[in-house]
Structure 1
Amino acid sequence: MEVLRRSSVFAAEAMYGFECLPTDKELMSQSKALCRDYILSRLHLAGLGWSKAELNLHMSSGSLSEVSAVLLCLGDELECMRPSVYKNVARQLNISVSIESMVTDAFLAVAAEIFSTGITWGKVVSLYAVAGALAVDCVQQGQPATVHTIIDSLGQFVRKFLAPWLKKRGGWMDITKCVVKSDPAPEPHWLASSTESFKYLLTTLYVYIMKEQ
């Protein structure tokens, strides 16, 4: 299954931004790379046919891999707390995933609503959870190409609305403060998104990571 092939360039572009204060363009590339990882993990969990070889072609590395691991860890926690919110998103929004413009408009509307009262890491995680769930809907309904639309829409939203907030925190690595490693030398696998697999322990409650900062 050909899904997300063109997004493979994001990981290479994204790594530069972790070495200095990232630009808007770098933050967008990093955000899209992280979205790709998040979506791939959700497609795998849904049993949508990705082989280990295909998955390894898209593995993130270095600092981006650590951020991706934490994002997935927090996403697992959030989705477990609110399972009904992050399933069948297309049906909840009453949209057809075969119409890319409709998917874009709906996703951006949800994103705007999530951040209407401020920005927190919890809300950022929620945005990725929505993207992941919507991508699963697209693939299940035979519209894998629309997944690219979701990734692009998230990247543009980050660049337009979240980049200043991310810059104030020094970039994406700040999200790692939401967890603490329980193993001094973990062997992270970006796809194994359970808290136990990543050997991370949450240091904050859902209410804490969702409150405005």
Structure 2
Amino acid sequence: MTSCTDIWSETMESGEWSISSQGRDLCQRYIIERSLKAGAQMKKVRMLFDTLSESRVADEVADRLLEIIHIMELLNPSIYDSCSSKLKLTMSTDEQVKWTYERITSQLLKTGISWGKLISIFTVCGALASDCVLQGHTDFLPIILDSFEESCSQTSINHYLKSMNGWSGVVEHFDSTTQVQRVNRKDIFACVAKKSVRLAQTISSRINMVSVAMILFFFFIMTISLFRYISQMSSVPT
């Protein structure tokens, strides 16, 4: 099977390689996904992203990267859920969106660059996209994408990505260190189950026991579904 490295090498040899443009393509896919989950209208999103990035990333690389981001979201939902609630800000202007992005990413990269931090920047973009949609500013989504591309153009990030074999390196890094494929499924299951029980306990004082039982059953079904989803992603061949 063709590896992500081979795909990336073919892209470089064809003269289409561009770190920032490839990053824009990856980020665009993720922003579209998060914005639709937040309730954005497909027609509106298509109008905002009616053109493809200059350099398309191979689907195999992009899909695997999204899988890694999804696992990071699942393991740290409180971190990657929203930027507005944590900073107590609203995405009222495009300047506010750009400022928020720059503030968070500058802190992330303050002590250096790593693949974990780059993945975190993706999730920041997704959280901002969700915030914009929920606050009625879907038209700000391109601002997030532009900001991400600008970050990829920075000398430090650009050189780091090139030295690590480009964006396909994120797949190789996580797979080779088994941080994704060997995530302890029991730990994930226990984590989700624990959060479900904690939530049920929080609201139990406000509703009757029958309702609590129904909620516990609901979260049990959700836990099973998430566990199966993680199992499927972990078994995807690379």
> Aligned AA for 2:144?
I
Question: Based on CA coordinates, which of the two structures has the bigger radius of gyration?
Answer: 2
1:168 aligns with 2:163: yes
Tell me the TM-score normalised to structure 2 length: 0.62
Give unmatched runs, 5+ long, in structure 1. 1-14, 183-193, 203-213
1:83-114 CA-to-partner distances (Å, cap 9, x unmatched) read 11111212212222121111111101111111
Q: What is the correspondence of 1:60-209 to structure 2 with a 5 Å cutoff?
A: 63-160=57-154, 161-177=156-172, 178-179=174-175, 195=230, 196=232, 199-200=235-236
Between 1:65-74 and 1:124-133, the stretch displaced more is: 65-74
Structure 1's consecutive aligned runs of 4 or more residues displaced over 6 angstroms after TM superposition are 57-62
Paired residues in the alignment total 173
- Corresponding position of 2:34: 42
**Cα 1:201/1:117, change in 2 over 3 Å:** farther
3-state SS, counterpart of residue 78 of structure 2: coil
CA contact (8 A) 1:95 1:103 kept: no
CA shift, 1:200, in A, is: 2.9
- Identity in percent: 27
Cα pair 1:17 1:26 within 8 Å, conserved: no
Query: Shift of residue 159 of structure 1?
Result: 0.8
What's the CA shift for 1:45? 3.2
Q: Does the 8 Å contact 1:38/1:68 carry over to 2?
A: no
Name 1:187's counterpart in structure 2: none
> 1:29, CA displacement in angstroms?
0.9
Match of 1:19 in 2: 12
Q: Distance in 1 between matches of 2:11 and 2:234?
A: 21
Closer/same/farther in 2, CA of residues 70 and 58 from structure 1, 3 Å limit: farther
Task: Flag structure 2 segments of 5+ consecutive residues without an equivalent.
Answer: 1-7, 182-228
